[in-house]
Chain A
Amino acid sequence: MLKSPIASDEEIAHELHGELIADGLIKIVTESMALSKERLNCSALAEVDLEPMLGEQTPFESLLAIDTETTGLSGGSGTVAFNIGFAYMREGEVEVTQYVLTKYSGEKAMLEEVSALISQCEALVTYNGKSFDVPLLVTRFRMQRKRAPFVGLPHIDLLHPTRALFSKRWRDCRLTTVEREALGFERQDDLPGFLVPAAWADFLKTRNAKHLAPVIEHNRNDVVTLLALIAKHARIHAGEIDADVDALALSRVFKRRGQRAKSLQLLESQSHRLNPKGELELARELKHHGRVADAIEIWSRLAEEAVPEAIECCAKYHEHTSKDLVTALRYAEALIATCGRRTPHLHRKERLSRKLTSW
């Protein structure tokens, strides 16, 4: 009985819709024509203004999304990226370039290609890339005794801003969850991340391209989603706030950047959706901008709902601004009733009582 011959690398490349560009290295290029239009509206992407988010003029074409699939998840020098995917915009279209190893010996050539691609971009986009993908690639470059091309390159790791804005809303911030909830795209038969190392092991044993195909598809979806996701974030920064966005978290991002007016504007426009914590922040910002009357309106309302910080703010306002000491004392006592006999609260009550009796 004839054993079926082991596939050659060229045959594997062909089956994966790619090309063998060096010994042990396959390159697969996918143009956006092959991607679903609902998912990725290319013309809309080209119009995305990244400045609100990144703080400077950055053409969308200069971004490079990157994601790796590895032989293990523990890090360390024994972990190899056998599949590296890139997504970027070129001439108004989204294009995906992926590299896949058929042999470990193809790594050197792969890293050369990676280096060349990265040197042409102005910023990297990843998901958890700061902790995983980039350190891993740095390790691979060092193992090959080559300088890694990441020094000084801006790196936008979307995991952190995504968590900041959405983690309260969704069960988790895994990329497929983000994809489904924020981008409206549900993958079919996606290979889960933890099965990727096993797929590589199976391929090594059998040299059958069918083990690699789902990995490559998974990787392709990942990098395309990164581009869609950064666009989504950019739009949020420009003011397109939907129900899932944690407005308070976003306002804090603006505030940290010194964009306090923007932070206030956001909170005001979203005030109907803020919880007490968010409303307190809004009141704080209103006060900072001198709109004390608007602030006290919020505090009074929240004080009715027994929110301690609001009660305290009311006490302070009536003591120092409206000079209505009777009301101030009422709030001071309410604060003690709500929070217990804490020293500063007791001092305030005592101080107000003294002031009132001395009249």
Chain B
Amino acid sequence: MPTQTTSQLLGEIEHLGSGCITSQFTKPAIAANLQPIPSDVDPRLVAALNSRGITELYSHQVAAWGHATQGENTVIVTPTASGKTLCYNLPVMQSVLTKRSKALYLFPTKALSQDQVAEILEMNEAAKLDLRAYTFDGDTPSDARVAVRTKGDIVVTNPDMLHVGVLPHHTKWAQFFENLEFVVIDELHTYRGVFGSHMANVIRRLRRICEFYQVKPTYLMSSATIANPRELAERLIGEPVKAVTESGAPKGATHIYLWNPPVVNPALGIRKSSRSQVTSLAKLFTKAGLKSIVFANTRLAVEVITKYLKDAFDADPRRPNRIFAYRGGYLPTERRNTEKLMRAGDIDCVIATSALELGVDIGSLDACILNGYPGTIASTWQRFGRAGRRNQDAIGVLVATSDPLDQFIVRNPNFFTQASPEHAQIDPDQELILTEHVKCAAFELPFESNERFGTSEVLPILRFLQEKEVLHQEGDLWHWSSDSYPANSVSLRSVADGNFVVIDTTDGKKDVIAEVDYSSAPMTIYEGAIYMVQAQPWQVERLDWEGRKAFVTKTDADYYTDAIDYTKLKVIDEFATTPCRSGGATTGEVHLVRHIPGYKKIRYYTHENVGYGNIKVPDQEIHTTAVWWRIDPLDLEREFANRWQALDGFLGAGYAIHSVATLLTMSERRDLGHSVGDSSATWSATVGSGGGAQIQDNDGQRVDVLDEKIPFNPTIYVYDNYPGGIGLSQPLFDMQGRTITAAIDLVNGCECAFGCPACIGPILAVEQSGDSSPKQSALRVLRLLTSG
């Protein structure tokens, strides 16, 4: 029970945050829309609902019931704690009770799977329904697996297990598939990017197997709020989907604040840490008697904030703890215990990673504080949604860190408040991903020559696999003829070529401490690199490139390492182009060569360069898709005093564009890469050790950019960082005008004087040269690239 009135508390927040709050607004309350339980719900289920205090349903639950019972694929897009689970549990349980049919539930994580089973079992118990719901994942003991396959009515699993443990053994599940009526996919919005592209293919394989067993299950899905839930759902399952988007669940108003910590070093743009701000807010809320949740983006941040708050509130060991941390890495029993205490209202403040963003029921909270922008608008609202009771106001505060995206959001509140949540993109026909899954599918059931896999014709892939001696053609059928088990070598979260494992060899150990994907490997785990896990530094002693292993030992070096990346792009094909104020934007296919010659050793805090090392990793060559921007050379000559200035501008603009592009395409920073080069690929530009631009030719030799003989056509490339692309370039090109505008806002809104890592990248510029700073040069370039 809050001990202050809402307006008092809001006043205190505003006082604490004077000078820091960049925006505040209120999300209005939502009234309940209740409807009677539909008459065709089985009386046993009605009794079960009644026993849990439910006598009416929300409008969206009734709508979902209507679609599901008619066999229509449905996606439910309502906020957290709106009773989404009942939307799919009710039709499933009805079908199991009345027809003894089966259902498959897919959750992205094991923890969520187990919670769901618990919920179904509770209803089962309450009304003696005799349903059998089991989890099936890596932890299921082998003697229990037979029971799950043959007796389970509802089988709860995750995409990885479905991919490697169920589909390739589908004959063992024959009874299950023959009676499969529903497939439930929860947290649909997590299936985007690389993971989503894989998932779409796993579903294609599932559909193939369902066809073999002559069933056509209905897909019931639930998603957090994204811009395109129905489109994502349809692309994921390859069938039409009905969307239920209006929530009938009541919610009090939410007061939202965007908060930027105060500046302490104006020249370098350094601010107070977000952690300090978050801690102060959490203390304020806890003292006011509110129940709060703090979200941090790293496990380390969770631990640090928890420590500060425990020091303040849990100092007396005789009294029960009021502050709890929650993150992956804690034992499941600990996490269950924390959830229970939260539901009972016995915890005042929980500090968590995204592990608590989804699904799990944690009761009602009054306030939510975000330590850093979670990366997407959708996640931000998902997290804020954790606070809010039916008839009481809630509070949400987003505290920005120094990360460029955070700074952009918090200085451009309109972007946030007016932004519709992101479009989730997937690319199921990405070459490498598709081929891997066709391989897995061929293991499951032989392919026919004219078969389509999703929307793709598979014949070219089948021929390719035959060449690799993995398939054998006989007439129209293509049989699996290798002795390998293909699903084992496909990870649903990366694109081909194999992840690297990082192995700790300190004191003769051999522990795997991390995994690094193939494309990040050359820049992060070369020999001599300092690799950080949970803020603990390790040094890479040896890199086994072919074996995909990096051997590290603990270190206490006082420097970190930064690899020098000479990425060179060559345009292979142009798909479309559009003019800008000067020059234009184009999208197409590019050939990329990434050469990493060496790395710099940079001392912490002072950022001095204290050494250099060589790197010997193979050049990475990939074909991918990209968007690139060019400016008319005449305009360049007119706008810039010399070529160096122009280059600084291009490098800074490129960095800013990359930042906002990740925002606008709802991707991770590493899903995209950016590079500045000459459009005829004779040179590429990077930031040199002096902090300014330098360019080198294709052999890594320095080039004198002022040499008039060398054509000067600098181009900013933003490319998909995976071989074959990952479907980000086209949407980015479609939004390119908006991207440039956002980049200008990002740089303009930065309070640094001449440029800093938050806006234009690691350009160390503490003085102006002439009448221009790197920041101004970047703005000049961007302004020339605005639309029309």
Contacts and interface: CB of A to CB of B under 8 A. Distances in A.
A71 B483 contact: yes
Contacts of A104: 446, 472, 474, 477, 479
Contacts of B174: 142
A143 B213 CA distance: 10
B170 interface: yes
Interface string A274-286: 0000000000000
Given A104-B446, A142-B174, A72 B169 contact: no
A143 B481 CA distance: 16
Contacts of B442: 78
Interface in B450-493: 469, 472, 474-475, 477, 479-486
Contact of A74 (B444, B446, B483): B483
B602 interface: no
A66 B83 CA distance: 55
Contact of A72 (B171, B474, B477, B484): B484
A105 interface: yes
B485 A74 contact: yes
30 contacts: A71-B481, A71-B482, A71-B483, A72-B483, A74-B484, A75-B169, A76-B168, A76-B443, A76-B485, A77-B169, A77-B171, A77-B443, A78-B442, A78-B480, A80-B479, A104-B446, A104-B472, A105-B475, A135-B172, A138-B171, A139-B171, A139-B172, A142-B174, A197-B482, A201-B469, A201-B482, A201-B483, A204-B472, A204-B481, A205-B469
Contacts of A80: 479-480
Contacts of A205: 469
Nearest to A148: B171
B47 interface: no
Interface in A172-220: 197-198, 200-201, 204-205
Interface of A: 71-78, 80, 103-105, 135, 138-139, 142-143, 197-198, 200-201, 204-205
Contacts of B469: 201, 205
Contacts of A135: 172
Nearest to B485: A74
Interface residues of B, number: 24
Given A72-B485, A201-B482, A77 B170 contact: yes
A77 B477 contact: no
A343 B481 CA distance: 64
B484 A201 contact: no
Nearest to B169: A76
Contacts of B168: 76-78
A359 B486 CA distance: 80
B270 interface: no
A78 B443 contact: yes
B117 interface: no
Contacts of A73: 483
Contacts of B111: none
A78 B444 contact: yes
Nearest to B442: A78
A76 B443 CA distance: 8
A296 B446 CA distance: 68
Given A74-B483, A200-B481, 18 more contacts: A71-B482, A74-B485, A76-B168, A76-B169, A76-B443, A76-B485, A77-B169, A77-B170, A77-B444, A78-B443, A80-B479, A104-B474, A138-B171, A139-B171, A139-B172, A201-B483, A204-B472, A204-B481
B571 interface: no
A206 to B, nearest CB: 12
Instruction: Pick the most buried of A73, A77, A78: most chain B CB atoms within 10 A of its CB.
Output: A78
A138 B175 CA distance: 13
A155 to B, nearest CB: 16
B358 interface: no
A77 B170 CA distance: 7
B445 interface: yes
Contact of A105 (B169, B474, B480, B481): B474
A315 to B, nearest CB: 40
Nearest to A204: B472
**Which of A72, A76, A103, A197 has most chain B Cβ within 10 Å?**
A76
A74 B469 CA distance: 18
Contacts of A197: 482-483
Contacts of A142: 171, 174
* Centre residue among B168, B444, B481, B482 by max chain A CB count within 10 A: B481
A139 to B, nearest CB: 4
B299 to A, nearest CB: 36
A138 B146 CA distance: 14
A105 B485 CA distance: 22
B171 A201 contact: no
B650 to A, nearest CB: 52
B208 to A, nearest CB: 12
Contacts of B472: 104, 204
B475 A72 contact: no
A72 B481 CA distance: 8
A72 B482 contact: yes
B398 to A, nearest CB: 48
Contacts of B485: 72, 74, 76, 78
A72 B479 CA distance: 13
A358 to B, nearest CB: 53
A71 B168 CA distance: 15
Contacts of B445: 77, 143
Contact of B483 (A77, A105, A198): A198
Contacts of A139: 171-172
Nearest to A145: B212
A15 to B, nearest CB: 21
A177 B479 CA distance: 35
A75 B483 CA distance: 10
Nearest to A142: B171
Contact of B474 (A71, A76, A103, A200): A103
Nearest to A139: B171
Contacts of A103: 474
Contacts of B475: 105
A122 B475 CA distance: 39
Contacts of B170: 77
A263 B443 CA distance: 50
Contacts of B481: 71, 200-201, 204
The 9 closest A-B pairs by CB, nearest first: A78-B443, A197-B483, A72-B483, A78-B480, A74-B485, A139-B171, A142-B171, A76-B168, A104-B479
A204 to B, nearest CB: 5
A205 B466 CA distance: 11
A103 B479 CA distance: 10
B240 to A, nearest CB: 30
A240 to B, nearest CB: 36
